[in-house]
Each structure stands twice: as structure tokens, then as C-alpha cells.
């Protein structure tokens, strides 16, 4: 004999089962209506927010701009968190005796904790020069130059700027950028075809060796900058002294002063020689 399925149910369970069966359709209707009401509420809220955004867009933009740029205390905080623009000079052009042009411009990084690497070129409205890679360290003012062009150029372009915030700037510069230049001399060519040559001693007085160090050479006549040149010095080891020679293959005016400016990005770890290299 098969037992009734309600044999093990209590009276309370039987009552709840009977109530559920009797009100099943009502429960489903209430749940459906509640979900529809909730969906309608979300739709009305979304429509109201969208309408408010469209109607008050100009007002909100004005308030945001006022907050950021018109004396708000937050404006100074936001400005300090971003690097300030570079300061560039006008381009100077030097015509070589052989008819080619050299270009020079100064660049200043006013940011004390931001390193900038970039690409640059000297160009004019009709010609874009060859891209060269450059850098300017935090707080540094330096020259950018390019040599030996057949056509003149009127402006310096800085592109592909890559800012990097760095820490311990003063300590890194003081310990790594310790180059000394001495005994600068100009040896004028005495025969046809013999170059004019600047020689100088350059010392790396830091505990760091560098795979590549540049040297900008600037020549002055009667206090005026009249000619420029550049040389790369390879594998400049810590504590090393180098005798460096830089040639000019064209005639120069009377030179009364020589300036040599070492150029190296001391924050570039890939340019630092490891012990044993």
C-alpha cells in the first residue's frame, strides 16, 4: 500500500503549502508588478539625470573651470602636480666657411623634480630637419645643437615629450655629474687642408662610469659666440682623465675664449657602466 505524500508533514507545513498553492498566482503577479515598478523607477531616475546633465551642462562646465583656474586653492595643488612648460630661446644660426649651417638654441626645464626626454629638430616652413634625441634634467638649462646642414632653419621643434618624476635629484646630480674640464686650447691649422683643432682635458671625478658622454664646444670671439661643435666620448670610466680633440674643417675668426659643456643624463641607468665593464 502506497503512503500518502502528506504522511510526514506537520499541520503547520500543510497550512503553508495550502496557502502557497491558493495564492500562487497572486504572488507571481505581485513580484512581476514590483519588478516593473523598480525598472520604471530606474528609468525615471536615469531620464531625470540625463535631462539635468543636458540642461545644466554649460553651468557645470563654468563651475568646474572656475574651481580649477580662478584662484581656487585646489588649482595650485593641481598645477604643482604637473610639470611646467619648457622655456625655449630663439634659434641661432652659424654659417660655416664651407657654406653649411649649424644651429643652436637654449632650453630650460623649470621643474625641480621632473626629467624630460624628447626628440627635437631644427626646421623652417619648407623643410623639417633630422630628428635627434635629447634630454633635459630637473632644473637644468642647456643648449641643443645640430651641425652641418645645407639649408638654414628658423625654429626649434620639441616633440615626443616624455616626462618622468624623479626622486633624490640633488643627491644624484651631486654624486654623478662631476666632470671637470681644463687646459682648453685652439690649435689653428697652418697648412691647406689641416683642420683647426680644440684640445682639452676632461676628467670624470665621480664614482660612476658612463658608456657615452657628450661635450658641447663653443667658441667666442670678442665676447660673441661664433662657432659650435660637438663630440661623443665613449666608455668614460670613473676617475678617468681624457685628452679630447675636436676638429673644425673650415676657417675660424680670431678666437679668444673656449667653453666646453659636458652633457650626460645621469638619471639614465642604462648609460651607467657596471663594475667590471
Percent of the residues in the chain that have a pLDDT greater than 70, as a whole number: 87
pTM of the model: 0.70
**Reported confidence tier of residue 58, pLDDT bands at 50, 70, 90:** confident
Q: What is the CA radius of gyration of the chain?
A: 37
Checking if the pLDDT of 26 tops 70, the result is yes
Checking if the pLDDT of 80 tops 90, the result is no
Cα–Cα distance between 187 and 190 in angstroms, integer?
A: 9
Checking if the pLDDT of 53 tops 50, the result is yes
* Residue 1, pLDDT score: 47
Checking if the pLDDT of 272 tops 90, the result is yes
Digit-coded pLDDT (tens) for 143-193: 999 999 888 888 999 999 999 999 999 999 999 999 999 999 999 887 777
Q: Which domains does the chain have, with CATH numbers?
A: 10-82 (no CATH), 84-167 (2.60.40.3230), 170-277 (2.60.40)
Digit-coded pLDDT (tens) for 188-215: 887 777 899 999 999 999 999 999 999 9
Checking if the pLDDT of 220 tops 70, the result is yes
- 207 within 8 A of 175, measured Cβ to Cβ: yes
Amino acid at each position: 500500500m502506497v503512503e500518502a505524500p502528506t504522511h510526514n508533514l506537520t499541520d503547520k507545513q500543510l497550512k503553508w503549502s495550502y496557502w502557497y498553492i491558493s495564492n500562487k498566482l497572486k504572488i507571481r503577479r505581485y513580484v512581476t508588478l514590483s519588478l516593473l515598478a523598480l525598472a520604471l523607477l530606474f528609468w525615471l531616475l536615469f531620464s531625470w539625470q540625463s535631462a539635468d546633465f543636458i540642461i545644466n551642462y554649460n553651468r557645470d562646465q563654468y563651475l568646474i573651470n572656475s574651481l580649477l583656474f580662478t584662484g581656487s586653492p585646489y588649482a595650485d595643488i593641481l598645477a604643482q602636480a604637473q610639470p611646467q612648460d619648457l622655456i625655449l630661446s630663439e634659434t641661432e644660426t652659424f654659417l660655416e666657411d664651407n657654406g653649411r649651417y649649424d644651429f643652436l638654441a637654449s632650453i630650460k626645464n623649470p621643474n625641480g623634480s621632473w626629467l624630460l626626454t624628447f626628440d627635437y629638430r631644427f626646421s623652417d616652413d619648407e623643410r623639417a630637419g633630422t630628428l635627434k634625441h635629447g634630454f633635459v634634467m630637473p632644473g637644468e638649462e642647456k643648449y641643443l645643437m645640430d651641425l652641418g646642414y645645407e639649408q638654414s632653419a628658423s625654429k626649434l621643434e620639441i616633440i615626443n615629450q616624455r616626462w618622468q618624476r624623479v626622486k633624490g635629484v640633488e643627491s644624484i646630480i651631486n654624486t654623478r655629474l662631476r666632470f671637470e674640464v681644463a687646459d682648453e686650447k685652439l690649435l689653428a691649422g697652418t697648412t691647406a687642408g689641416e683642420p683647426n683643432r680644440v684640445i682639452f682635458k676632461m676628467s670624470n671625478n665621480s664614482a660612476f662610469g658612463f658608456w657615452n658622454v657628450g661635450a658641447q664646444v663653443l667658441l667666442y670671439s670678442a665676447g660673441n659666440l661664433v662657432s659650435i661643435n660637438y663630440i661623443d666620448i665613449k666608455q668614460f670610466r670613473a676617475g678617468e682623465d681624457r685628452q679630447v680633440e675636436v676638429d673644425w674643417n673650415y676657417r675660424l675668426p680670431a678666437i679668444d675664449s673656449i667653453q666646453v659643456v659636458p652633457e650626460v643624463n645621469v638619471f639614465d641607468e642604462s648609460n651607467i657602466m657596471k663594475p667590471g665593464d
